[in-house]
Amino acid sequence: MCRNHAPAAWAETKLSDAKYASELAAACEAVTLASKLCQRVQQQLTTSEKADKDDASPVTVADYGAQALVAWVLQRADPSLKLSMVAEEDSADLIAPSGAAMLARITQLINSVLAEEQGAAPLSEQDVVGLIELGGSQGGPQGRHWVLDPIDGTRGFVGMRQYAVCLGMLQDGDVVLGVLGCPNLPQGAVGDDDGGAAAAGKSSSADVGCLFLAHRGAGAYVAPLSSSSSSLRRISVRDESDMGNARFMESYESRHSDHSFTAAVAKQAGVSLPPLRMDSQVKYGLLSRGDAGIFMRFPPPSYREKIWDHAAGCVIVEEAGGKVTDASGARLDFARGRWLDLDGGIIAAPPAVHGAVLAAAQAVRGSKL
Ligand SMILES: Nc1ncnc2c1ncn2[C@@H]1O[C@H](COP(=O)(O)O)[C@@H](O)[C@H]1OP(=O)(O)O
Ligand SMILES: [Mg+2]
Ligand SMILES: [Mg+2]
Ligand SMILES: [Mg+2]
């Protein structure tokens, strides 16, 4: 990749000379473009679709469209390399005869975004299928693999709350880059616990929409999603060792993470403030920005985590000075393929707080065995 495309805002940071600067610039462009597609789809959701009944098609269009656009930008940034991408969506439903109308709809949407934002020539349906299929990599400990969740927090997307476009880069087993596009997240600190619905309702206003980015060894940053090339702020976790002032975050959906378990852990750790419940990896962004001090996730035992649900958020939190582990205290290992096999759940917090929360989680777990 050529190295002369660092955005102007990076000049004062370690990013412009960083090892993967051009890859990070491409990742930011990819996430920004995909976020624009998602915003367009979300703004067109009808009232019945927002009510999140049975029709999953609007969000499905956005999932596929975002995945294809990210692959398009990354492939174009370095056409000499065959892209290896571990991504959530696959083309099976689209290439089936029953997927023809959906594929046409997605291709039309992608082409309208490409024409408007990039002045690019239209893609064919076959091009779109090919781009989506680039996401079928198995990842692993060697070489470079991009890791993508085109929309994380689909329930939040449909419910007009929070969601994120999440892109990481795995180099020889380590996540070295992470970018989160959070179109509905206010640029100022978030403190309420309405799951982001109030913020999402203001999504057309200028102070909503954030891009979080991190480069291993060069820090974590946030920028307005709409002007990330001209504005950037370094961020760090809030090292709040007084548990009385600490706030923890968890899934909005109790099906995704056990709210009663986290309440017991919080109590055990001396955390008394109510939780901030939000969808998606937006929570990792909020932790990195210091809006809240602790993130806990305890899915049902049968649930198997995937690497795209945590890769980008994890490196952003670590570069902001935080610690991310499973419930046994082990660092998350993204090098084992598409799955993220871990023990029990995830705890992320500044180092001083992390130990106390981990000990509390282990105590609560022990008392329930
Ligand atoms: N049954 C489930 N249990 C736990 N997590 C789930 C479940 N179903 C989907 N998810 C995933 O949990 C993540 C959302 O976490 P949160 O609850 O913090 O918003 C998403 O990756 C979502 O997938 P998806 O990417 O398809 O939205
Ligand atoms: Mg996800
Ligand atoms: Mg997803
Ligand atoms: Mg999904």
82 and 161 together in one domain:
yes
Instruction: Give the count of domains, the chain.
Output: 2
200 and 253 together in one domain:
no
pLDDT per residue over 109-161, tens digit each?
999 999 999 999 999 999 999 999 999 999 999 999 999 999 999 999 988 99
109 and 159 together in one domain:
yes
140 and 254 together in one domain:
no
Binding site membership of 216 for ligand 1 (Cβ less than 6 Å): no
302 and 351 together in one domain:
yes
Q: Is residue 366 helix, strand or coil?
A: helix
Minimal-distance CA residue to ligand 1 atom 5:
256
Structure confidence at residue 183 as a pLDDT band (50, 70, 90): very high
pLDDT higher than threshold 80 for residue 30: yes
CA distance 346 to 236: 19
CA atoms in the 13 A half-sphere facing the CB of 364: 22
- Name the pTM for this structure: 0.95
CATH number at residue 313: 3.40.190.80
234, 257, 287: which is the final residue of a domain?
Answer: 234
217 and 272 together in one domain:
no
Residue-averaged pLDDT of the chain: 92
118 and 138 together in one domain:
yes
Q: Are 290 and 238 in contact (CB under 8 A)?
A: yes
Lowest mean pLDDT among 12-16, 124-128, 202-206, 219-223: 202-206
CA distance 312 to 327: 19
Domain span at residue 319 reads 243-368
131 and 181 together in one domain:
yes
Per the annotation, the verdict on 78 as an active-site residue is no
CA distance 319 to 172: 18
Q: Which residues surround ligand 2, an ion (CB under 5 A)?
A: 149, 152, 309
Is position 235 annotated in a ligand binding site? no
Q: What phi, psi does 210 have (nearest 5°)?
A: -125, 150
Query: Which of 154, 253, 308 for mutating ligand 1's site (highest number of atoms within 8 Å of CB)?
Result: 253
90 and 187 together in one domain:
yes
Structure confidence at residue 241 as a pLDDT band (50, 70, 90): confident
Query: Has residue 221 been placed in a domain?
Result: yes
pLDDT per residue over 32-57, tens digit each?
999 999 999 998 876 666 655 445 56
Report which ligand 1 atom has the smallest distance to the Cα of 309: 21
